[in-house]
Structure 1
Amino acid sequence: MPRTSPRIGSGPAAAACALLLLLGAAATGCDSAEPTNNGPTARPAPAGPLGNRIGPLFVDDTDGMRACTAAVVHSRGHNLLITAAHCAAPRGVPLDGLVFAPGYRDQRAPYGSWPVNAVLVDPRWGPDENEGYDVAFLTVGTVRGRQIEDAMGAFTLATGLGFGLDVTVTGYPNNAVSPITCEGLTTSRSNTQQRFDCAGFTDGTSGSPWVTEQGQVVGVIGGYQQGGNSPEVSYSVAFGDRLADLYRQAGG
């Protein structure tokens, strides 16, 4: 089961509550096994150009409900984000009204609010939310005539690199005013799922990118248990051929 405080966020209004019911299984960053409490803990993420490629997703605008974390990835159209499918298409149905705020800090969006125009998920994600396909690509519109990759830069997307990778995971917990970050090694949970051990990735951090020193996104929090059931351990779909196919369809 997802943990009591799921990572997707909370909303005060009745409409937002209905959305939360739809997103209620969207817990992230954890494991059903007994967590280890002697591992690393995430710390506040420093500001900078690389971190500014990451931001929270909101519903309607930056004053609305926060719903997960996303990151800019390179594409032919210079307009692509990556996040978890359970963030952007719960039960297989794309959410309307999402906006992305790169580099969001202290309740401010210094680089603007970018509207999500389209959501692409693998058809096998579907109403049953198949954990092997918990990744989504989002295309965003322009702000002041600029594409988001031209404004913020972008990570590259890498598939087929296997496990045992040094990565930095950065995300936006709903209970923090700024992002958190942590470094560590990826490990294998199965052929299609990978794991990252670091405490602190609570509600709001679904979709957080796993980035190598080379600037490659090799995972996003999601997948098994929609990311996990305790804040000490997070999961991601293993990025392989299936994800590479979806990325090409998205314009990567």
Structure 2
Amino acid sequence: MRRHRTTAGILLAVGALLTGGLVTAGGAYAAPRETASGTSPTARTASTAEQHNSRTFWTSERMRGATALDLLLTTKAAKSLKAPRTVGPSTTVEPTAAPAAFPQAGGPWTGGGAVVTTSGRVFFTFQGRTASCTGNAVTSQNASTVITAGHCVKYQGSWHTNWIFVPAYHNGNAPYGQWTASKTLTTPQWQASEDINYDIGAAVVAPLNGQKLTSVVGAQGIQFNGGYNKRMYAFGFPAASPYDGTKLIYCSGNSSKDFLFSQDHSLGCNMTGGSSGGPWFTGFNEANGTGLQVSVNSFGYTFLPNRMFGPYFGNDAKTLYDMAQTS
């Protein structure tokens, strides 16, 4: 496991929440245009040619073949999980039976609703490996903004390439299409030193078939400076054992503030690699699958299993969001 430089080796690596295979990246891409480091968010712009290559690069086989990167470093016992109800473009998202009783330490989301289509799996190329995270579509001026973790757009000094968002992903299928990033962004603190307190990323995705993202899949609200100790729901597509990346998983419970090394939210949750960047909601309504996004899955402590941590959405997160939604 990689360890974060600012916490004396105690943090579980954010990299362990990534998923990756050994598929070699294909296709050429133009050098990124990157803003200067400073107090403003930093961004990478993908050329039209790179966006085209990303669409053709991510086949169903490559998406299904993504393997949790931390599986290359450690082995965990596998468990089997029942598949949740799937949703396609012509399927309504009315709720079915209510999920398990609150709190939930981790299990398939069976409640339906908007979260099924606003959340999705994120795929990209990371240092020659195919990799994945989770993202979520939020309300925005450009109707094209996805929120994820900072390490899901840039990690170990490198911006990820071939970046796409696949809402309602299910076992290699993209029922609402593959949305290619025209721009990826992160906070200046993550850009400068990968400060875990600011592990927040965003992407602006290009229109698909003449339509913008949130007009197709809907959007969740987003909140900044909302405080701590809230009733929370977290979602993601974990791909490391006991999960396999094929289905939407959720956790729920009463959150708290990290009392150790970060300023982050904390929530009991057993999600694994691949869930990084998945949304945390406050005010979540199980009946319609909507809430206000206030964080993302980010990291865990090696000595504190089955607990997830996510960055506090404060002023810097708001600045990042504003830059993304007006791009």
Q: TM-score w.r.t. structure 1 length?
A: 0.81
* 1:212 CA displacement: 2.1
1:192 aligned partner? 263
Q: Does 1:209 align with 2:279?
A: yes
SS in 2 for 1:12: coil
| Aligned-pair identity (%) | 26
C-alpha change, 1:173 and 1:53, in structure 2 (3 Å) is same
8 A Cα contact 2:139 2:220, kept in partner: yes
Q: CA shift at 1:239, angstroms?
A: 1.2
Equivalent residue for 2:105, pick from 27, 41, 52: 41
- For the Cα contact (< 8 Å) 2:14–2:151, is it kept in 1? no
Partners in 1 of 2:115 and 2:191 — Cα distance? 32
The answer to whether the 8 Å contact 1:91/1:126 transfers is: no
Distance in 1, Cα, partners of 2:274 & 2:301: 13
Amino acid at match of 2:281: V
Q: Partner of 2:191: helix, strand, or coil?
A: coil
**Residue of structure 1 in register with 2:185 after alignment:** 120
Q: Is the 8 A contact 1:84 1:136 kept in 2?
A: yes
- Greater relative contact order, per chain length (Cα 8 Å cut-off, separation 6+): 1
Alignment of structure 1 residues 1-252 onto 2, 5 Å = 1=3, 2=12, 6-13=16-23, 40-46=104-110, 47-59=112-124, 65-174=130-239, 175-189=244-258, 192-199=263-270, 201-214=271-284, 215-222=291-298, 226-229=299-302, 232-251=306-325
CA RMSD of aligned residues (A): 2.7
Change in Cα spacing, 1:247 to 1:5, as seen in structure 2 (3 Å) is closer
**Secondary structure of 1:101's aligned partner:** strand
Kindly state the Cα deviation for residue 59 of structure 1 after the two structures are TM-superposed. Answer: 2.2
Give the structure 1 partner of residue 38 of structure 2: none
Structure 1: 5+ residue stretches without partners: 25-38
Q: 1:3 to 1:40 in 2, by over 3 A?
A: farther
In the alignment, is the contact (CA less than 8 A) between 1:170 and 1:210 conserved in 2? yes
Q: CA deviation at 1:106?
A: 2.8
After superposition, give the CA deviation of every residue in 1:93-151 in whole Å (9 maximum; x if it has no partner).
Answer: 32121111000113211111000111111222125211121101110011111110111
Whether the aligned pair in 1 keeps the contact of 2:179 and 2:205 (CA below 8 Å) is yes
* Distance in 2 of aligned mates of 1:78 and 1:143: 12
- In 2 relative to 1, CA 195–128 (structure 1 residues): closer, same or farther, beyond 3 Å? same
8 Å contact 1:221–1:227 — kept in the other structure?
no
- 1:228–1:14 CA distance, 2 compared to 1 (3 A): farther
| Inter-partner Cα distance in structure 2 for 1:217 and 1:171 | 13
1:10: Cα distance to partner? Answer: 2.1
Asked whether the equivalents of residues 144 and 325 of structure 2 are also in contact (C-alpha less than 8 Å), the reply is no
Paired AA for residue 239 in structure 1: F
Whole-Å separation in 1 of the counterparts to 2:144 and 2:13:
33
State the TM-score, normalizing by the size of structure 2. Answer: 0.63
Give 2:247's aligned amino acid: S
Matched AA of 1:141: A
| Deviation at residue 244 of structure 1 after TM alignment | 1.4
Output one character per residue of 1:68-102: Cα deviation in whole Å (capped at 9) or x when no partner: 10000111000000000011111343212111100
Q: Deviations over 1:54-73 (max 9, x none)?
A: 0111126xxx9341100001
User: Counterparts of 2:269 and 2:237 in 1: how far apart (Å)?
Assistant: 14
Structure number with larger C-alpha Rg: 2
3-state DSSP class of the match of 2:250? strand
- Structure 2 portions without partners, runs of 5+: 4-11, 27-65, 71-102, 285-290
Q: Which residue of 2 aligns with 1:28?
A: none
Q: Aligned partners of 1:206, 1:5: CA distance in 2, in Å?
A: 9
